[in-house]
A and B are shown apart, each in its own frame.
Chain A
Amino acid sequence: MNVGLEHYLTVAGLLFALGLFGVIARRNVLVMYMCLELMLNAANLALVAFSRFTNNLQGQVFVFFIITVAAAEVAVGLALIVALYRKRGTAHVEDLTTMKL
């Protein structure tokens, strides 16, 4: 059977589910952040697959923008995590309960 759009979309969906599961199950802020990156990459794969199989290159331009924004987002997010760690001395979400009622 020839590899088509459905194959790529299945891989993208499974990768997205893995990332989502990581965000829910893991409690370390950094690992949760890595799982967010995993989900972004899954979305990128789906966009590139659609772009290839519908002969429309705008999907790839979109992925280019996603990668740029993700790089900026990672820089800001990691700076926030480092600031949080300096203030609280922990990178564990269950220890961050200041806003809990």
Chain B
Amino acid sequence: MPLPNILFYVFAALALLCGSLVILNRNPVNSAMFLVLTIASLAGLFVLLNAFFLAAIQILVYAGAVMVLFLFVIMLLDLKKEQRRKIKTYGLIGGLISVGAIVAIFLRALFVTKPGANLDAPTAIGDTITLGKILFTKFLLPFEIVSVLLLVAMVGVILLSKKDLK
């Protein structure tokens, strides 16, 4: 088996394993740490898909900024005393049934339609130069709107985190 295929299986198994550990862990700090691992292995899958720019962004923005924010809030809230709650059985059973149904529908659709059957050999490479050119020509307006969105989010967060909301 060639090396990229082995790496795909390694990263996919790692992502799914750490993703399930995010849910199974009772301590929110451990959950956050396993979420970082999941995101890192997804970045590995992005590299295998030749999306180098997105892999870097994934590590920088998700594993860096977003998870630091999560950890800060976990430590701010002091969630220690809420670890020992029982999980409701009805919620668990309902969740398992609905998620199982969704997975069944998805996998059946995938194996019946076979979306990757007659495609050309992949040649697209998402490096910074190509993506930047698309971003600043075809997607210039969405790019500018996203900057406004980030400004709005920043103002909103500052307003929300004031001591007395009025």
A residues bordering B, Cβ < 8 Å? 2-11, 13-15, 17-22, 24-28, 30-31, 33-35, 37-38, 41, 44-45, 48-49, 51-58, 60-61, 63-65, 67-76, 78-83, 85, 90-92
Q: B150 contacts A24, CB within 8 Å? A: no
Q: A18 contacts B5, CB within 8 Å? A: no
What's the Cα separation between A8 and B12 when bound, in Å? 8
What's the Cα separation between A62 and B76 when bound, in Å? 33
Q: B134 contacts A28, CB within 8 Å? A: no
- A24-B95, A52-B49 as given contacts; A31 in contact with B119, CB under 8 Å: no
- A6-B115, A65-B146, A82-B77 as given contacts; A71 in contact with B160, CB under 8 Å: no
When C-beta atoms are compared, the residue in chain A nearest to B96 turns out to be A21
Query: Which residues of B have CB within 8 Å of A54?
Result: 119
What's the Cα separation between A5 and B117 when bound, in Å? 9
Contact residues of B: prevailing secondary structure: helix
What's the Cα separation between A81 and B115 when bound, in Å? 40
- A53-B122, A55-B120, A78-B69 as given contacts; A6 in contact with B114, CB under 8 Å: yes
User: Interface residues of B toward A: which range?
Assistant: 35 or more
What's the Cα separation between A67 and B56 when bound, in Å? 12
B residues bordering A, Cβ < 8 Å? 4-5, 8-9, 12, 15-16, 19-20, 22-23, 28, 31-32, 35, 38-39, 42, 45-46, 49-51, 53-54, 57-58, 61-62, 65-66, 69-70, 73-74, 76-77, 79, 82, 85, 87-88, 91-92, 94-96, 98-99, 102-103, 106-107, 110-111, 114-116, 119-120, 122-124, 126, 130-131, 134-135, 138-139, 142, 146, 149-150, 152-154, 156-157, 160-161, 165
Q: A75 contacts B110, CB within 8 Å? A: no
What's the Cα separation between A11 and B17 when bound, in Å? 11
Q: A85 contacts B77, CB within 8 Å? A: yes
What's the Cα separation between A44 and B46 when bound, in Å? 10
B24 to chain A minimum Cβ distance, whole angstroms, is 9
Query: Which residues of A have CB within 8 Å of B165?
Result: 83
Contact residues of A: prevailing secondary structure: helix
The 20 listed contacts between A and B (C-beta, < 8 Å) are A10-B107, A24-B98, A25-B92, A31-B22, A34-B32, A34-B70, A37-B35, A44-B58, A45-B46, A52-B49, A52-B124, A60-B131, A64-B131, A67-B54, A71-B66, A72-B149, A72-B152, A79-B157, A82-B160, A83-B160
